[in-house]
Amino acid sequence: QVHLVESEGGLVQAGGSLRLSCAASGSIFSINTMAWYRQAPGKLRGLAAWITNDGTTNYADSVKGRFTISRDNAKNTVYLQMNTLKPEDTAVYYCNSVPHYLLWGQGTQVTVSS
């Protein structure tokens, strides 16, 4: 079973940037689509960004143009570069496959202050 460990998030002011990483304990090469999900307080967990093995990326409308997802299969790592952060981006961020069949990691808290 592959385990996922998200890097530390943090507190950032609106307009700032953060880069998250997600390290997998095993190979993600065979996993076609990897994603970042997020869960805001009182809301359901949902997809924020996802990337296929051929590098095709997709984003939720709310983050399009501000977030960039990437993956490094050699390092079994998925990244999320978040720019121009908004208070509504405040959430716990998780990585997983699409569909999400890997064991969920602990997630990482991202808090954006206004």
Q: Residues 59-101: pLDDT tens digits?
A: 999 999 999 999 999 999 999 999 999 999 999 999 999 999 8
Q: Write down the pLDDT at residue 1.
A: 84
**Full DSSP string of 67-114:** EEEEEEGGGTEEEEEE-S--GGG-EEEEEEESS--SPP---EEEEEE-
Q: Residues 33-49: pLDDT tens digits?
A: 999 999 999 999 999 99
Q: Write down the pLDDT at residue 9.
A: 95
